[in-house]
Structures are given as C-alpha cells and as structure tokens.
Amino acid sequence: MSDRYCVFGHPIGHSKSPQIHTAFAAQSADTMTYTAIEAPKDDFAGAWREFVAAGGRGANVTVPFKEDAFRLCEELSPRARRAGAVNTLVLGKDGRTFGDTTDGIGLVRDLQYHGVILAGARVLVLGAGGAVRGVIEPLLAEGPAEVMIANRTAEKAAGLATDFAALNDGQTRLHGGGFDAVTGPFDVVVNGTSASLGGDLPPLPDDLFAPGATAYDMMYGAKPTVFLVWASERGARPVDGLGMLVEQAAESFYQWRQRRPDTAPVREMLRQALTDNA
C-alpha cells in the first residue's frame, strides 16, 4: 500500500503540488500518492484527522489554512514557531503531528539557483503578512548587510522586524517602515505583497534598484507580474516565484521521505506548461 500525502487548501483546484510531488516521487520510484483536498474553511483540523485516519502520512498546507495548521500541531520546528504558520505537516511514528514551514527555504534556494548572492547585500522585502513572516529568518541566515521590511502600515513592518531581532547577530541592519521610508538602492527586492494578484503595484521610488539588482515576485504566471515589468523597466533582473514553489516542495518532500529530489527538471516542466498555456 502506498503512502498517502496531500495538499490542503480552499480553493485548491489550481494547485501544482500534486504535479510537483508526483514528479519528485518518480525520480526515486517512491511508492506514494499525492492528491489535492479542499478542506472546509471552518474545520481544517477535522480534514487533517480524517486524512490521517485514511492512512495519510503528511501534507502541504496553503491558504487559508497555514495558521490553522500551526494551531493543531503537537510539535513545531523553531522556524515554524517563529513564523506562526505551518505549510508542512508530518505524522510521526508516535502519531503526533509535527509542523514546519519551508517557504523561506524555498525562497532562498530559488534566489541561489538564479545566482543571487545574499551575503552582504541590501535586501528590501515588500509586505508584512504571513508570506513575508515565513521568509525573514532564512534571509537573515544568509548574512545580508541590510534587510528592510516595507509595508503600507509602517507599524506592522516595524513590529515584524522587532519580532526577528533576536535572530540577528548584529551584522545585518534589520528594520521596518512604510513604503514612504524606502530609500534605495537595493541589491534584492522581494515582493511579498498580494498586489500582483490584482495587477497593482506598491508605491515605490524609481531609484529602487542598484546596478545588477534582482527583483523577485513571490507570485508567478504565464506573463510577468506588474511588479516585474516595472522592475525590468528600471534595469532590474526579474525573477518570479515559480522556483520558490518547487524548492519549498522539495524541502517538504525531504521532511517526509528523507530524500532530496532534483528540482531542475521539475522547474523546467512547470515553466514549459506555463508557456504552453499562455
């Protein structure tokens, strides 16, 4: 009998996770199945318990359930505890549920895949919601010279910087503020806002990017987001979040199977599918 895994979301029909994990499993001929489950908005915990009762061993969790997943876990990784959210559930041999967040690792590994050097860099992160909260710790671990968190609500960005101050060893200037406090140039700008979903753009200065800078949008699609188009026009190299999706999935797969899949062919497969459907 094959091990069962899934991704929970609401809605979930758009998810590429089944395609990604099926491809990962095929690399090592793993006997496992991976499906998408639309959990009821008011009973995520019940959906997880039902899945476990049917033989489920682990799951990915996407919106709007990452905080629900955090609350149901009996054990949490330190990074998940600090992020306040969980995107990876692992059923232990003792029947206890362990939760982790792999989004930040996915972002850092994707930036590294694209040749971005974070050590000593000036990094700007746009937004202060759950998506951003999950990536601050891995970014700090790379030793940038500066990480600024910018948000429409300055107090929320400043509070987020304060929450992670204890992880800063002093070599990184970590701070937060409003969009009006942003002064470039930055080497890496990460858009973690939901503005791209609506075709909007945060209010940013034109001199945001240093020479050779990378503009990264956590969103992705068949066409560049508004943010990436804007950044390209100002000389930055655009990178979307498709690779982050694959890399965070690879870390989840490792948590479950203790094997690290080759992400390159899966990236190529998904990118080609986006191109074909454009």
Annotated binding site for shikimate: 15-17, 62, 87, 103, 220, 248
> Tokens 């629900």 identify what position?
68
Question: In the annotation, is 223 catalytic?
Answer: no
SS (H, E, C) the chain: CCEEEEEEECCCCCCCHHHHHHHHHHHCCCCEEEEEEECCCCCHHHHHHHHHHCCEEEEEECCCCHHHHHHHCCEECHHHHHHCCCCEEEECCCCCEEEECCHHHHHHHHHHHCCCCCCCCEEEEECCCHHHHCCHHHHHHCCCCEEEEEECCHHHHHHHHHHCHHHCCCCCEEEEEEHHHCCCCEEEEEECCCHHHHCCCCCCCCCCEEEEEEEEECCCCCCCCHHHHHHHHCCCEEECCHHHHHHHHHHHHHHHHCCCCCCHHHHHHHHHHHHHCC
Return all residues near 94 (Cβ < 8 A) that are at least 6 apart.
none
Catalytic residue, from 41, 66, 93, 223: name it: 66
Tokens representing residue 30 in the block: 């793993």
- Identity of the amino acid at 188: V
Return all residues near 24 (Cβ < 8 A) that are at least 6 apart.
30, 249, 250, 253, 261, 266
Binding residues: 15-17, 62, 87, 103, 127-131, 151-156, 218, 220, 241, 248
Binding residues for NADP(+): 127-131, 151-156, 218, 241
Q: How far apart are CA 32 and CA 55, in angstroms?
A: 11
Residues involved in catalysis: 66
